[in-house]
Chain A
């Protein structure tokens, strides 16, 4: 193996760094530490790749505590609250669904159609496990204060929340699915925007302290438990209590979400939260009036989904900057 081949391999590894100068520097170090070898050590390659990934993920906007993914994660966490509330609305809607009623718009009456039951349960379990995974990752993030884990937490939890909602609605009315798909697409767009733009939209949401992640882990786990059961038809004994408990925890989750935000933007966030919380029953009422694509629940939900974007835009316009957060002890993160 020639030096040229070694250099080619080292260059391939070093190119994973976003900074060209740093990539050249790492290339030199890799070449020097691989002298006399046919290829760089696997451990060195993996180590460089991992650090380059962390650099890419952690490329921060000036004055922010977290990197791009961390910023996006914070936005996604806010989304999680919204999705959890909408899931609660969907659960509540199913409480109103009379068992076995004849309605061409009702896709599943809770007693037949085994294929649909399979889909229903599959989606519900997928959602529940995704949420549980999110909870576990949040717990790890809390303990380890790991930036990447925070991001994964948020993404997983939001995915879980979206799947929960999808699972709730799938069996009730197939036309709902397209509506929820649109919502999921809206979330994806907002999330992508957050990743792409590290400006005030991101800065406005990099305010979630570490203690929150521990609490969110517990809450996510508690919320996920009752949602496992939602694949069955309505009307079972004891079910209403479980669902109401889930609803209560989801509202609590929203309040917990709002708390750290209130700390930094007291008036702005207080106003938005005051708008958000009363919207929940309105959302439920909207859901109850199903089969109408333009029903108010959708409008409210879509508005809520744009919440962080609205706040971010206001932050840009008003030039509001959050307080910098204290770093973890020892400066280690990642």
Chain B
């Protein structure tokens, strides 16, 4: 799973968000390191919807503008959980090796 995909799924883990909300959340989650552009976001959302990891929850019109909210599906939550576990295991392995080498991980 690529990092932007992981971050999008993470952004949707606790609540449904609209496009700009996801963009803001991804920026915050990555401490400003990952900044999604609209086209990239919607390409990723389309793919995730096709894969059944994300679904459209509702549409709202706020101030004459359409907002579509996306939520994580059960399959999406499972995929995110598995990816998190994989990353955690990899990170633990890396830290362990670094400690053996006498390097203190940051």
Interface residues of A (CB under 8 A from B): 21-22, 24-33, 43-44, 47-52, 54-55, 330-331, 334
Contacts and interface: CB of A to CB of B under 8 A. Distances in A.
A32 B20 contact: yes
B67 interface: yes
A15 to B, nearest CB: 14
Given A28-B20, A29-B20, A330-B2, A21 B37 contact: no
A316 to B, nearest CB: 27
Contacts of B6: none
Nearest to B67: A28
Q: What 8 pairs across the A-B complex have the smallest Cβ distances? A: A51-B39, A47-B39, A29-B19, A32-B20, A47-B37, A24-B66, A28-B65, A48-B39
Nearest to A23: B66
Question: Majority SS of interface residues in chain A?
Answer: helix
Interface residues of B, number: 20
B47 A29 contact: no
Among A27, A50, A51, A334, the one with the most B-chain Cβ atoms within 10 Å of its Cβ is: A51
Question: Majority SS of interface residues in chain B?
Answer: helix
Nearest to A52: B39
Interface of B: 2, 18-20, 23, 37-43, 46-47, 51, 59, 65-68
Given A28-B20, A43-B37, A54-B43, 6 more contacts: A21-B59, A21-B68, A25-B67, A47-B39, A47-B40, A51-B38
A24 B38 CA distance: 13
B23 A29 contact: yes
